[in-house]
Amino acid sequence: MSHLTRAALLLPLLGIAPLAAADSDESAQSAAKGFVEDSRWNLLNRSVYDRRDYHNGGRNGAARNAYKPRSERSDLAEEWGYGVIGTFTSGFTQGQVGFGVDAHALLGVKLDSGGGRAGKARLLALDNDGHPQRSYDRAGAAVKVRVSNTVLSYGEQRLKTPVFSASDSRLLPETFTGWWLNSEEIDTLKLVGGHFTDDADRNASSHGKGLVVNYSNGKRGDSIDVAGAVWNPTAAFGASLYTSRYEDTWNQQYLGGTFSHALDAHRSLNLDLNLYRTRDTGKALSGRIDNTTWSLISRYRQDAHTLSLGWQQVHGDTPFDYVSRGAIYLTNAVQLSDFNAPNEKSWQARYDFDLSSVGVPGLLLSALYVRGFDIDGSHVDSSGGYAYLGYGQGGKHWERDLEARYVVQSGQAKGLTFSLRHDVHRGNTAQAELDSDQVRLAVEYPLGGSF
């Protein structure tokens, strides 16, 4: 199906709102002030230093490295870069149908990296020889049209859903090219849908290279279709249902739910459930897939202290996989591992302390530990996209993440954010992640305003 045909199918959805709603004062379009009058700009300055030490043992041996490009075979990955993320969000023209444009320009600059240290941290763009570029940039835009509270956009954009989500965990963000529909005609219900054909990775310096898949090394599908509904009947409860089709590879469904309850003025309880179902489809470019993965986490907060306990489980002989770098809403998808290996079980314990209670507003300390076990990838499709990972039986691993995060609360530097992380991962040879120690320092300073 062509892009124009898909667009023709989406356009009638702009008319799902009754004309009365489109003309009422309650609709977003009826309140539009104009293309320029409602426009906003933002400029995020970000500096990231990422150092990863890889150790002998676990999956760091020659067998694992044989599948990696030369630039990733070093025992040390160290990159330091400066990024600028500029965004422009226009308002909508006035009238029953409003038009607008969203645009972005991204710049990444190498501050330090060399001597075989670059590549694995994925902060910087690499040339054809695997060497970090001095700088890299890209830009894009999306046009948008709005009727009532429904917006249809086409072009390069960022979005966040459980089945297709742009990552912003490195120097520059990931972006997608395609169609996206967002309808909020009912106060408690949001409907979304889209079709995408390109994914510019976080360290990409160009577009047009197709979609990015996180784990499979099989032939890639040409497009992904997404549809979903998000229901928030109260502030304490929310549910979401999504489906996606990655062309000739898999169909994936998602069910999620959140519940929060205030026990009293000082204590609260929160539950978060995520459930994915993935099965191969069409030409099955990544091989046979029959995977159900779910997670549940509970969070107990008392004043400045939050304790979280979570469980995650994979049912299936392939790892849980996803298109893009950011589309995963699982509890134990943490800094260095997703804990998503075939048949894996894992648990998490986390503690957060908000130091505003002791006179340091804006400072948050957190400690997390995840342990995964019972990995069995011995029945993975030998001709599929996951055989290269070399899963065995009895796989186990663990990760510990520590973070200190401080946000300036007032003054000219308001919003300036410092984040210091130290992460450790260890595992045996029956799982597929690398043994590593990570130190990551990030500094962000946002600027923004309206016209």
Domain segments of the chain as ranges:
3-450
Q: Is 171 left (phi over 0), alpha (psi -120 to 50) or beta?
A: alpha
Find the mean pLDDT for residues 18-26: 48
CB atoms within 10 A of CB 433: 22
pLDDT of residue 447: 94
For 176-196, b/e burial (b = at least 16 CB within 10 A) is bbbbbbbbbbeeeebbbbbbb
Please tell me the predicted confidence (pLDDT) of residue 189: 97
| Per-residue pLDDT, 208 | 83
Residue 54 Cα distances to 65, 195, 311, 362, angstroms: 11, 38, 27, 33
Measure the CA–CA gap between 3 and 179, rounded to whole angstroms: 9
Flag whether pLDDT at 5 surpasses 60: no
State the DSSP string of 114-161: -TT--STT--S-B-TTSPBPSEEEEEEEEEEEEETTEEEEEEEE--B-
- Quote the pLDDT of residue 108: 95
Question: What is the residue-wise DSSP string for 319-349?
Answer: ----BSSS----TT--SS-----TT-EEEEE
Residue 60 has what pLDDT? 59
Q: Please, are residues 225 and 251 in contact by the beta-carbon 8 Å criterion?
A: no
Q: Alpha-carbon torsion 130, 212, 435, 390, what sign? A: negative
Question: Considering only 76-85, 100-109, 250-259, which range has the smallest mean pLDDT?
Answer: 76-85
Top pLDDT among 26 and 248 is at 248
Average pLDDT in the chain: 90
Answer whether residue 48 shows pLDDT above 50.
yes
Angle at 431 between CA 62 and CA 80, to 5 degrees: 65
Which has the closest alpha carbon to 160: 125, 129, 192, 198?
A: 192
Report pLDDT digits (tens) over 375-414: 999 999 999 999 999 999 999 999 999 999 999 999 999 9
- Residue 216: what pLDDT? 96
Calculate mean pLDDT across residues 73-86. 85
* Percent above pLDDT 70 for the chain: 88
Q: Report, as an integer, the average pLDDT of 135-150.
A: 96
Q: Which tokens in the block code for residue 200?
A: 């510019």
56 vs 30, higher pLDDT:
30
**Going by C-beta distance under 8 Å and a sequence separation of 6 or more, which residues neighbour residue 101?**
88, 90, 141, 142, 143, 144
Q: What is the mean pLDDT of residues 123-128?
A: 84
Q: What is the pLDDT of residues 282-308, one digit of tens each?
A: 999 999 999 999 999 999 999 999 999
Residue 73: pLDDT over 60: no
As a whole number of angstroms, the distance between CA 353 and CA 285 comes to: 45
Tens of pLDDT along 172-198? Answer: 999 999 999 999 999 999 999 999 999
CATH number corresponding to 3-450: 2.40.160.10
Q: Which two tokens stand for residue 152?
A: 């249809």
> What is the C-alpha to C-alpha distance for residues 360 and 353, in angstroms, rounded to an integer?
11
User: Is pLDDT of 10 > 90?
Assistant: no
Handedness of CA 28, 29, 31, 34 (dihedral sign): positive
* DSSP E strands, 148-236: 150-157, 175-186, 189-200, 224-234
At 55 the pLDDT is: 75
CB 96 within 8 A of CB 103: no
**276, 294 contact by CB (below 8 A):** yes
- Please give the model's pTM, rounded to 2 decimal places: 0.90
Q: pLDDT by residue (tens digit) across 330-350?
A: 999 999 999 999 999 999 999
Q: What is the length of the chain?
A: 451
